[in-house]
């Protein structure tokens, strides 16, 4: 179909009209089970009553003032994030990639202000995804992200994930920080092991480096902890958050310890829209739900139920499923001999939304509020999807 849009997305021929909880309905009224949640964004499902009410009330009051004035919802959200996470300082932005930009700038400015401007390089991981700005694609360095967009920004060194010796070798007197996704999302739902996360923290301590976690996809309750790094019992210096933080309202945050944020002085950074009253009102409403007693326990419980179902699915279909991996409600099914994009399209045709990822993986990123019946339903739809894809193979086999 020809379109007036730039052709950067190969969009499926489906358009959605409305949603409710874990379900979404297309313009023809057909219902789908949403195990994509807009790529880990709609964590509380669609049309959550508390979010809808908050947005409607705020829309009638005040949308935008700029950061030249105090924004009470913003102060409150920052205070609550500080109270409930490692963070001591917050900066609000409009998207994930802006949170990454802020994280990178915060790390570089820290060493500049300490009189060590030569410490400005950041070590990142192969298979990483940090967004689409020039800095973010330069950081990730993946061929498919950078081709045609050079010259890239200097200052990034890449190592393979899981190899602490390689990480150690990459550290030089110019290294400022190490940046990792505790669970790589786009790269194929690869959780970094707790031992590796602890090793990265130890290397940062030993060499006086800042540890940056990109928690844009795996944070805000997605793995059953507020942030995925918590599973490893370590504390980073800087965290980029977005996606689930707004429950569908676009915003992000750069969180840091007071020490790491010490270079972010008046006038050094800014944003016109970031932290606006609409976004901050919704952000507080999302946090109201996330902080409810038992919310994260539910994520852990339902995630274990989904993981068990997927493991069972994998063992019954080991000819086409190589592995199930991930953490919490960020799960990947690594396929064998099936194309992830075709599999995602077949799932859509069967009424189930899932997302593709790198390394031949399909991603399951359901809203955190799903219950067992929805998991059971997803498994039925996955079985149907697989049957529709492997019909020919099985017919040939006899």
Ligand X SMILES: *Cc1c(COP(=O)(O)O)cnc(C)c1O
- Which three-class secondary structure state does DSSP give residue 329? coil
What is the contact mask toward ligand X in residues 239 to 268, using x (rule: CB under 6 A)? ---xx-------------------------
Q: Which residues of 64-96 are buried (b: 16+ CB within 10 A; e: fewer)?
A: eeebeeebebbeebbebbeeebbbebbbbbbbb
Nearer to ligand X, 100 or 331 (CB): 100
Q: How many residues bind ligand X (CB under 6 A)?
A: 14
The question of whether 16 is a catalytic residue gets the answer no
Nearer to ligand X, 136 or 306 (CB): 136
Residue 132 assigned to a binding site:
yes
Structure tokens of 325? 């991996």
Residue 271 assigned to a binding site:
yes
Between CA 157 and CA 167 the distance in angstroms is: 10
Residue 102 in contact with ligand X, rule: CB under 6 A = no
Residue 17 assigned to a binding site:
no
Q: Which residues of 142-153 are buried (b: 16+ CB within 10 A; e: fewer)?
A: beebeeeeeeee
- Angle at 184 (CA atoms; ends 370, 336), nearest 5 degrees: 80
Residue 69 Cβ vs ligand X, minimum distance, rounded to whole Å: 26
By CB under 6 A, name the one of 139, 177, 216, 234 that touches ligand X: 216
Nearer to ligand X, 34 or 181 (CB): 181
Nearer to ligand X, 252 or 389 (CB): 252
261: Cβ contacts below 8 Å, ≥ 6 apart = 88, 89, 106, 110, 238
Between CA 354 and CA 373 the distance in angstroms is: 17
Residue 302 assigned to a binding site:
no
Residue 217 in contact with ligand X, rule: CB under 6 A = yes
Secondary element (H or E) of residue 338: none
The question of whether 376 is a catalytic residue gets the answer no
Pairing of strands 190-191, 16-20: unpaired
Residue spans of alpha helices (H) in the chain:
37-40, 49-59, 72-84, 96-113, 134-140, 143-146, 164-170, 194-207, 277-290, 295-316, 340-349, 372-397
Residue 99 Cβ vs ligand X, minimum distance, rounded to whole Å: 8
Nearer to ligand X, 54 or 217 (CB): 217
By CB under 6 A, name the one of 38, 161, 185, 248 that touches ligand X: 185
372: Cβ contacts below 8 Å, ≥ 6 apart = 302, 305
Residue 65 assigned to a binding site:
no
- Angle at 325 (CA atoms; ends 324, 327), nearest 5 degrees: 135
Nearer to ligand X, 153 or 309 (CB): 153
By CB under 6 A, name the one of 131, 221, 224, 358 that touches ligand X: 131
By CB under 6 A, name the one of 34, 181, 237, 359 that touches ligand X: 181
What is the contact mask toward ligand X in residues 58 to 97, using x (rule: CB under 6 A)? -------------------------------------xxx
Residue 185 Cβ vs ligand X, minimum distance, rounded to whole Å: 4
The tokens 């979010």 sit on which residue?
51
Active-site residue, from 214, 227, 249, 359: 214
Between 72-84 and 277-290, two packed helices, what is the crossing angle to 10 degrees?
A: 30
Residue 180 Cβ vs ligand X, minimum distance, rounded to whole Å: 10
Residue 34 in contact with ligand X, rule: CB under 6 A = no
The question of whether 243 is a catalytic residue gets the answer yes
44: Cβ contacts below 8 Å, ≥ 6 apart = 50, 51, 247, 286, 289, 367, 368, 369
Residue 294 Cβ vs ligand X, minimum distance, rounded to whole Å: 27
Contact 132, 88 (CB under 8 A): no
Residue 129 Cβ vs ligand X, minimum distance, rounded to whole Å: 5
Binding-site residues sit at 129, 132, 214-217, 271-272
Q: Return residues touching ligand X (CB under 6 A).
A: 95-97, 100, 129-131, 181, 185, 214, 216-217, 242-243
Q: Report the catalytic residues.
A: 129, 214, 243
Binding-site residues for pyridoxal 5'-phosphate sit at 129, 214-217, 272
């Amino acid at each position: 179909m020809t379109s007036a849009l730039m052709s950067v997305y190969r969009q499926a021929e489906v358009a959605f009209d409305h949603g409710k909880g874990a379900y979404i309905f297309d313009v023809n009224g057909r219902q789908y089970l949403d195990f994509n949640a807009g790529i880990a964004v709609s964590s509380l499902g669609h049309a959550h009553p508390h979010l809808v009410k908050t947005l409607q009330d705020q829309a009638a009051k005040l949308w935008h003032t700029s950061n030249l004035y105090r924004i009470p919802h913003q102060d409150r959200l920052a205070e609550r994030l500080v109270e409930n996470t490692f963070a001591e300082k917050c900066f609000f932005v409009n998207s994930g990639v802006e949170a990454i930009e802020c994280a990178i700038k915060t790390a570089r400015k820290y060493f500049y202000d300490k009189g060590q401007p030569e410490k400005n390089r950041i070590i990142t991981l192969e298979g990483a995804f940090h967004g689409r700005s020039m800095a973010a694609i330069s950081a990730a360095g993946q061929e498919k992200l950078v081709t045609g967009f050079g010259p890239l920004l200097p200052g990034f060194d890449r190592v393979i994930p899981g190899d602490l010796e390689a990480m150690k070798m990459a550290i030089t007197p110019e290294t400022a920080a190490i940046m990792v996704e505790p669970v790589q999302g786009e790269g194929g739902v690869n959780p970094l092991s707790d031992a590796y996360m602890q090793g990265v923290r130890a290397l940062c301590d030993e060499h006086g480096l800042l540890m940056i976690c990109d928690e844009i996809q795996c944070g805000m309750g997605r793995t059953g902890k507020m942030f995925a790094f918590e599973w490893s019992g370590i504390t980073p210096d800087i965290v980029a958050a977005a996606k689930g933080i707004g429950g569908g309202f676009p915003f992000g945050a750069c969180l840091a310890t007071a020490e790491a944020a010490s270079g972010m002085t008046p006038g050094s950074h800014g944003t016109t829209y970031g932290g606006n009253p609409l976004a901050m009102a919704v952000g507080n409403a999302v946090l109201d739900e996330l902080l409810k007693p038992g919310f994260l326990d539910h994520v852990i419980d339902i995630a274990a139920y989904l993981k068990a179902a997927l493991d069972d699915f994998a063992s019954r279909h080991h000819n086409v499923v190589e592995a199930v991996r991930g953490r919490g409600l960020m799960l990947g099914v690594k396929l064998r001999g099936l194309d992830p994009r075709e599999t995602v399209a077949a799932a859509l045709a069967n009424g189930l939304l899932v997302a593709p990822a790198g390394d031949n993986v399909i991603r399951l990123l359901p809203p955190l509020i799903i219950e067992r019946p929805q998991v059971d339903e997803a498994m039925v739809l996955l079985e149907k999807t697989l049957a529709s894809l492997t019909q020919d193979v099985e017919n040939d086999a006899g």
